[in-house]
Structure 1
Amino acid sequence: IDPTATGGSAVEQYDLDHAHVSWTPTKVGVPVLWWRSVEHTHMAFSKEVMIDELAQAAGEDPVAFRLKLLGTHPRHVGALKLAAEKAGWDNPFPKEKGRGRGVAVHESFGSVVAQVAEVTVSGNKITVDRVVCAVDCGIAVTPDVVKAQMQSGIGYGLSAALYGKITLTDGHVDQTNFHQYQVLRINDMPRAVEVHIVPSRNPPSGVGEPGVPPIAPAVANAVRAATGTRLHRLPFDLAAARRAKA
């Protein structure tokens, strides 16, 4: 099996009694390659949105539900607890329509990253207000570089999740340059991106890519908390998701 199709799946992270992962290769006629963080982009999204749905079905808090399934993964537990604490997870938003908080945790390239995203939804527009990130990358040799890589990974992941759409007409890509292909701009960044490094004595591990995978599912889970609508496709199209739900 191609590891770039299945790497980072739920069976590698959560203590699940019953789990099955399969891969069906498809021929789409269009050459495709990877985002920054390779297979972990799509695997983290599918895994963390699914885990959130399971928590909702069980009537449990998304953080508490994850912690129950991470008993044999102390690094994941440490990162998740730190992100939740710094985000004020135990102090939920007032019951006002349009605001929500979501969480995701994922391991890639030897590092564990947990992120909490806060969003405001107005109509079908998603605004990411704040992201709190906790990273366990072993010994942080240069902490400022670690924080910068997490911040840039969050920006990169948000750009792909909110805007990264390619369309084709008669077999040709419609987008020829950035006037047609929107990317995240500085004014689209969350007003606050907070990065916290988990103290560790383990050998240093990757920081260039692990900041990307958790952000899309964290935002998707926050949108569900704000609106009740689940986002299962990237890039996000809240209007289409609402139509499908109706």
Structure 2
Amino acid sequence: MINQQHLWDDDAARNYDTPGEGMFSPEVLDPTVEVLSQLAGDGPALEFAIGTGRVAIPLSAAGVRVSGIELSHAMISRLREKVGESRIPVVQGDMSEARAGENFSLAFLVFNTISNLLTQDEQVRCFQNAARHLAPDGRFVVELWVPQLRSLPPGHGGTVEVSRPGYLLVDTYDVLRQHVISHHVQFGTDLSDGRAARIGRTPHRYVWPSELDLMARLAGFELESRWADWDRSEFTAESRSHVSVYRMSER
């Protein structure tokens, strides 16, 4: 069993933020915050796996009342270096079980984080937990990548997903358990700890959109919208990811 607390430790939290670059770049963050702000409306929002506040902090700055749930003590500590509890309250715990209140207009889970739950049962419970937090007409937003099994060459169990100067991402698949391990290799002369290279591995359980929709139905949601990205572009068979908006069904 993977210990997620050990996986998202002080070292991971210290190296997580990349201000202005990657998933912290304005072209990624700005449309994310814009869509979530519109979906929240005048109501409060809850982020599952809030991390170091990548989305929650700019969403709060946009006027949305944001709370969070986060498993990692280290990630919460990093968040607290940036904003206080009074501005963004956070409950420490598992996003499939922890409670942070009720009657939220929006709950959201971004950047593939639902796949950090490594069993189908945990992922189903995550949807159920979102439903418990929401107002009767509330929405649950999930951002997730589409498994790229078509990229697997015959007889091979892995793919190179990213190759750029200083960084290499290799994904290895266990198709029987729907598991993928992402191997992140950073190299070059700019590593803060002086090493020639740093490698990190993160396990995931990948989920097809149709399976995600069934989990949502079991928890009392119906699919309202699905886009290929936060720019609301059309989701197609060639899309590499999706942003799915689920709304509470009539109870």
- What is the TM-score when the length of structure 1 is the normalising length? 0.28
Relative to its length, the structure with more helix (as a share) is 1
- What is the TM-score when the length of structure 2 is the normalising length? 0.28
Relative to its length, the structure with more strand (as a share) is 2
